[in-house]
């Protein structure tokens, strides 16, 4: 495309936005300087940019029928076969619909991206196929991933297979439901506040928010570079470990991976032995009062589950991390910038080296500029508050929250000196009812964020956190969260594997009617 030089009116508007107060004569002088500079952008259009590889181009895809999609958990279906052998040979996979799969539509739950079809595969998609996985489709995710419930995706509502009137948890909504119901073996989720762990807790499966930067986020629709995580979801700790093993490790294209953490043979770490492993039950993770009040049966089930591991060699005691409740507020200070980050930079941010999804950035930015009304209620809430605080306080609170996240990490690390795993409820409540279409604005926003008080602090600090199904109460799953030291994802999986094999395994849901 030819880049059009700015008009005098464009320059007047832009200079006013910077407070430059340029005269008409000055604007004309700047226009004379700027007009020839557009040739640079014309030349950039002529150059071909490097793209991510598409190694397995045979990929039939289609919109699912109602019969194929009884839980409303598929956004789009496909059949992409990978290598004939590998870690994931024989495993079927669902990919959250904020992850690029070449030739398969990506909507990210919002009309803003409806009709967008990526031309590239995310790094983790290539790795899954290289490992022999078979991708069956894109799972529903909440609108721009801004909800822990399942009421915001504009491609339709996904339902919990344990109770169709309830949410499977968000924002990796469809991934949780599809794995729990057995439609796929494993799935990919993405997690900025709990979006892997919440659907795993409410759907009764395993799900790991890996150590920050362990798994490349390349080719995935981001929210904010410092809290983005992507990871595995499965019905067993072993399959969770296998999927992590397939996708972990640096790809050289994601700035989140500056630490260069290597992947490991996570499945080999599942030895069945947890003798001497120290579990610390974090008392501040129980009895939560904001943004939701904890349910007693959830608290009791998690405590009982943690103590059950003592019968298999673990050492279990209660510990205190007084700063843990402030993790919600620290995360909120960071998250206040999320929508601004997404809107003003097309979701990818700036000033980092790596792969930029050019077409997604442009498509999203143009759509938001034309139709900001399509943002979900929760996205609108964060965008309004974030813009207000940024304009009034000039970045103070984002900066302070990021600085406080280091103090929060230090508090968790101090606790992890006296134990190997921190334990608390993943979500303080069991699966919530799906709110009705005519719910109030306040109800819509509240149910989008009520599930995150225990999960979101670990996005702010980057420690690995794993949901472990630990009980059923009133016919609904209860999730226990294991949190470990940076890079010690294998320790969490080892303990979860023992728990699943020797203490509790979630029963298969029967798609209970609403």
CA contacts within 13 A on the Cβ side of 484:
21
Longest dimension (CA), the chain: 82
- Judged on CB neighbours under 10 Å (0-12, 13-18, 19+), 3 is middle
**Is residue 171 flagged as an active site residue?**
yes
**CA separation for the pair 355, 221 (Å, rounded):** 12
Residues 365, 346 contacting (CB under 8 angstroms): yes
**CA separation for the pair 342, 357 (Å, rounded):** 13
**Closest listed residue to residue 217, CA positions, set 176, 242, 251:** 251
**CA separation for the pair 451, 275 (Å, rounded):** 33
**Closest listed residue to residue 475, CA positions, set 438, 428, 511, 434:** 511
139, 147, 167, 171: the active-site residue: 171
147, 172, 195, 376: the active-site residue: 195
**Is residue 195 flagged as an active site residue?**
yes
Q: What is the distance of C-alpha 201 from the center of its chain? A: 14
**Is residue 96 flagged as an active site residue?**
yes
- Residue 152, C-beta contacts closer than 8 angstroms, at least 6 positions apart: 109, 142, 143, 146, 170, 376, 377, 378, 444, 448
- Judged on CB neighbours under 10 Å (0-12, 13-18, 19+), 42 is exposed
Give, for 387, the enclosing helix (H) or strand (E): helix 377-393
96, 138, 209, 430: the active-site residue: 96
**Cα separation of the two ends of the chain:** 52
**CA separation for the pair 288, 302 (Å, rounded):** 14
**CA separation for the pair 323, 489 (Å, rounded):** 23
Return the exposure string of 395-427: e unless at least 16 CB atoms fall within 10 Å of the residue's CB, then b. Answer: eebbeebeebbeebbebbeebbeebbbbbbbbb
Two tokens, residue 103: 């030739």
**CA separation for the pair 430, 302 (Å, rounded):** 12
**In Å, how far are 319, 330, 471 from 399, measured between CA atoms?**
30, 10, 40
Residues 239, 185 contacting (CB under 8 angstroms): yes
Q: Indicate the DSSP class of residue 436.
A: P
**CA separation for the pair 229, 261 (Å, rounded):** 14
Q: Indicate the DSSP class of residue 166.
A: B
The catalytic residue positions are 96, 171, 195
């Amino acid at each position: 495309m030819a880049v059009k030089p700015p008009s005098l009116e464009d320059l007047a508007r832009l200079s006013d936005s910077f407070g430059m107060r340029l005269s008409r004569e000055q604007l004309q002088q700047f226009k004379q300087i700027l007009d020839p500079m557009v040739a640079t952008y014309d030349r950039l259009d002529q150059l071909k940019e490097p793209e991510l590889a598409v190694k397995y181009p045979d990929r039939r895809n289609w919109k699912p029928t109602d019969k194929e999609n009884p839980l409303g958990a598929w956004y789009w279906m496909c059949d992409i076969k990978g290598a004939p052998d590998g870690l994931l040979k024989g495993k079927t996979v669902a990919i959250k619909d904020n992850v690029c799969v070449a030739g398969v539509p990506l909507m990210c739950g919002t009309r803003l991206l409806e009709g967008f079809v990526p031309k590239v595969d995310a790094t983790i998609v290539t790795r899954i196929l290289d490992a022999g996985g078979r991708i069956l489709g894109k799972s529903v995710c909440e609108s721009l991933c801004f909800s822990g419930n399942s009421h915001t995706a504009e491609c339709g509502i996904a339902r919990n297979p344990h109770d169709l009137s309830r949410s499977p948890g968000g924002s990796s909504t469809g991934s949780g439901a599809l794995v729990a119901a057995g439609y796929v073996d494993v799935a990919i989720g993405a997690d900025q506040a709990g979006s892997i762990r919440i659907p795993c807790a409410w759907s009764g499966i395993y799900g790991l928010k890996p150590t920050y930067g362990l798994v490349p986020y390349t080719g995935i629709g981001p929210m904010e570079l410092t809290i983005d995580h992507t990871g595995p979801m499965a019905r067993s700790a072993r399959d969770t470990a296998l999927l992590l093993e397939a996708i972990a490790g640096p790809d050289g294209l994601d700035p989140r991976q500056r630490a260069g953490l290597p992947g490991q043979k996570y499945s080999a770490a599942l030895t069945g032995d947890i003798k001497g492993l120290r579990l610390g039950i974090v008392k501040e993770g129980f009895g939560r009062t904001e943004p939701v009040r904890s349910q007693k049966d959830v608290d009791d089930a998690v405590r009982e589950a943690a103590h059950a591991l003592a019968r298999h060699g673990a050492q279990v005691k209660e510990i205190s991390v007084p700063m843990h409740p402030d993790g919600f507020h620290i995360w909120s200070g960071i998250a206040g910038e999320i929508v601004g980050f997404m809107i003003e930079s097309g979701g990818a941010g700036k000033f980092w080296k790596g792969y930029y999804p050019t077409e997604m950035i442009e498509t999203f930015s143009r759509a938001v500029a034309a139709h900001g009304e399509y943002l979900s209620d929760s996205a609108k809430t964060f965008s309004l508050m974030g813009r207000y605080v940024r304009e009034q306080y000039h970045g103070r609170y984002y900066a302070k929250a990021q600085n406080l996240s280091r103090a929060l990490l230090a508090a968790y690390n101090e606790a992890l000196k006296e134990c190997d795993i921190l334990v608390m409820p993943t979500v303080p409540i069991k699966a919530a009812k799906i709110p009705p279409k005519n719910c109030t604005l306040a109800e819509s926003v509240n149910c989008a964020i009520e599930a995150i008080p225990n999960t979101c602090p670990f996005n702010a600090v980057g420690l690995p956190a794993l949901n472990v199904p630990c009980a059923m109460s009133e016919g609904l799953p209860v999730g226990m969260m294991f949190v470990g030291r940076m890079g010690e994802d294998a320790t969490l999986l080892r303990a979860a594997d023992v728990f699943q094999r020797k203490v509790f395994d979630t029963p298969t849901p029967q798609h209970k009617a609403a």
